[in-house]
Structure 1
Amino acid sequence: MSPGETLDPVPDSFILQPPVFHPVIPYVTTIFGGLHAGKMVMLQGVVPLRAHRFQVDFQCGCSLRPQPDIAIHFNPRFHTTKPHVICNTLLSGRWQREARWPGLALQRGAGFLILFLFGNEEVKVSVDGRHFLHYRYRIPLSRVDTLGIFGDILVKAVGFLNISPFLLQSPRLQVPCSRALPRGLWPGQVIIVRGLVLQEPKEFALSLRDEAARAPVTLRASFTDRTLAWVSPWGRKKLISAPFLFHPQRFFEVLLLCQEGALKLALNGQAVGTTSLDQQTLERLRELQIRGSIQLYCVHY
């Protein structure tokens, strides 16, 4: 297996682009490859206690002037007598006939997980696992290449995925998960693990095991005492003095970078620590194990 090769071919087509954590609002980003049927955008965050409104726009470009067409304008409004959601389309500078949904499935002060699932003719929107609305396209989906988020919203994570049932139910991503490392680890090699923490988590652990089935190094996150630690084969813990970045029903990304005599750790894009391992030990590692209260989306080698 050569450097940069992927252990599991499934996640490459599942994760369309890296997730974004805690973006500053207003937030505008390119959607890699644009939108097409079969894509899904996940938005996780919190509605502020004094929120008036926010909007999620799927745009045809990112220019300020002239204003780009907006294929899908998703606009929850909390400040009215009866909170509701407006969906609309902006075409050539003019808003079209709006569609309104009462019974807003979002609440001030509460967290949420919104899924936008793009089909051939319409987008379906679910909130916290329940279908909320569907909106028929008035502009071809193929024109959409930009996501914009504006207004009164705190965003924790944005994810871009495919929605193939095969990928969502792939047995190769079931936890506990094991992957072979036929050549061990060498300087410059990167391991990336992405997933979602379950609702009532207890522990998450990532272990690197040698040919004798020992684990010279284990990264363990304990949700009970909110600690992150390197654990030796003899059970000794070396606490990592960094913010605890694993939270229930929130996405995460673990990155391990192998350097000569060490492994560097980054969580959600933030470097948080290093553990020393001699080069011979790194080269003898033959297995990656992942277990705990998570749902796996991606394992890259």
Structure 2
Amino acid sequence: MSTDEHLDPIPDRFILQPPVFHPVVPYVTTIFGGLYAGKMVMLQGVVPLRAQRFQVDFQCGCCLHPRPDIAFHFNPRFYTVKPHVICNTLEGGLWQREIRWPGVALQKGASFLVLFLFENEEVKVSVNGQHFLRYRYRLPLSRVDTLGIFGDILVKAVGFLNINELPCSRTLPRGLWPGQVIVVRGLVLKEPKDFTLSLRDGATHVPVTLRASFTDRTLAWVSSWGRKKLISAPFLFYPQRFFEVLLMCQEGGLKLALNGQGLGATSLDQKALEQLRELRISGSVHLYCVHY
């Protein structure tokens, strides 16, 4: 953990919460660090052909009796002639006035991607890349610490993202040394163009850059002299899907792994590694975790 992370007034934001794949429904989990403005929750799944309804609840606790308050209840219903979504808040065991949104872009038998973006006064929900609704908070967002998913839904993945503006820069106060690992996690945008991860020294030179081009589906190492070395491996970046980049420092250079698959290495001597002082990330992604 770098020095500047220790200075952050809300250290819980740096607790890593990796995505969860194929959880069994009903599924209830703690939201590490709770909810706050700028946090996003991603839900990927499939609506079964015989689905009646499902719900996603952002809860104030996880007890069974009494039932916890629910700050935001997102409830798609398919059993009526016109499928719709109900949103509401549960406080003190009583539901408040519900709000109905017609024309939900969720189809039986089809995959979907739902993003919940939490802002200062409201949550915004997009479905399959299109804005769908906004819901003004009726309970303080700071009370929410639990996510519950129930009903007729097959969940492929649940992700918890802190939205970081790009380009993103992180200092490396002591440079790099053998055994150190840099972890970068994020979500590729719907129509991506590129992704760049650069390591810079104290003189702002860029000894090494990892560059992904979504246009021609290539990965390459680029040196400070402009030399480009293509990585001959499957291109594992996919639009609207999670990714994880690992850079593992070893004697003589850096090893690369993408989504758990080793993709080779690039050469840097130990002196050059120790002089690296900045990690910079840019491109067509939502970045939610940088750890080293």
When normalised by structure 2's length, the TM-score is: 0.71
Q: Does 1:207 align with 2:223?
A: no
* AA at the equivalent of 2:262: V
| Superposition pairs of residues 54-65 of structure 1, within 5 angstroms | 54-63=54-63
Maintained 8 Å contact 1:16/1:32: no
- C-alpha contact (below 8 Å) 2:59/2:145 kept by paired residues: yes
How does 1:13-92 map onto structure 2 within 5 Å? 15=13, 17-18=15-16, 20-25=18-23, 26=25, 27-35=27-35, 38=37, 40-48=39-47, 50=49, 51-63=51-63, 66=65, 68-71=67-70, 72-89=72-89
Query: Over residues 90-136 of structure 1, what are the superposed CA-to-partner deviations in whole Å (9 max), with x where a residue is unaligned?
Result: 567x663561413143322353342242656xx53322463614255
Partner of 2:175: 184
Secondary structure of the residue aligned to 2:231 is: strand
Q: Write the distance in 1 (CA, Å) between the matches of 2:103 and 2:187.
A: 25
Q: State the 1:30 CA deviation.
A: 0.9
Contact 1:194 1:296 survives alignment (8 Å): yes
Measured in 1, the distance between the counterparts of 2:115 and 2:16 equals: 18
Measured in 2, the distance between the counterparts of 1:87 and 1:148 equals 14
Q: 1:83 to 1:35 in 2, by over 3 A?
A: same
Task: Give the drift of 1:206.
Answer: 1.7
List per-residue Cα deviations over 1:22-80 (Å, max 9, x = no partner): 522323221224346x36432242443624432111234335x5474241322111232
Aligned residue in 2 for 1:293: 284
Q: Which residue of structure 2 aligns with residue 272 of structure 1? A: 262
Cα distance in structure 2, aligned partners of 1:231 and 1:284: 18
Could you tell me which residue of structure 2 aligns to residue 218 of structure 1? 209
Higher RCO structure (Cα 8 Å, ≥6 apart): 1
What CA deviation, in whole Å up to 9, does each residue of 1:238-285 have, x standing for no partner? 3245x71x23344544332323444344546x3534525443342243
CA contact (8 A) 2:218 2:231 kept: no
Deviates more, 1:72-81 or 1:13-22: 13-22
Query: RMSD over aligned Cα, in angstroms?
Result: 4.1
Distance 1:52 1:274, change over 3 A: farther
Q: Secondary structure at the match of 2:274?
A: helix
Q: What is the aligned partner in structure 2 of residue 165 from structure 1? A: none
Give the number of aligned pairs: 279
Q: Determine helix, strand or coil for the equivalent of 1:275.
A: strand
For residues 287 and 145 of structure 1, do their structure 2 counterparts lie closer, same or farther at Cα, with a shift above 3 Å needed? closer
Q: Aligned partners of 1:141, 1:11: CA distance in 2, in Å?
A: 18
Q: Is the 8 A contact 2:247 2:257 kept in 1?
A: yes
TM-score, structure 1 normalization: 0.69
Is it true that 1:102 corresponds to 2:101 in the alignment? yes
SS in 2 for 1:59: strand
SS at match of 2:79: coil
Helix, strand or coil for the counterpart of 1:283?
helix
Distance in 1, Cα, partners of 2:95 & 2:176: 56
The gaps in structure 2 that reach 5 residues or longer are: none
- SS of 1:87's equivalent in the other structure is strand
CA distance in 1, matches of 2:9, 2:192: 23
Unmatched tracts of structure 1, length 5 or more: 163-167
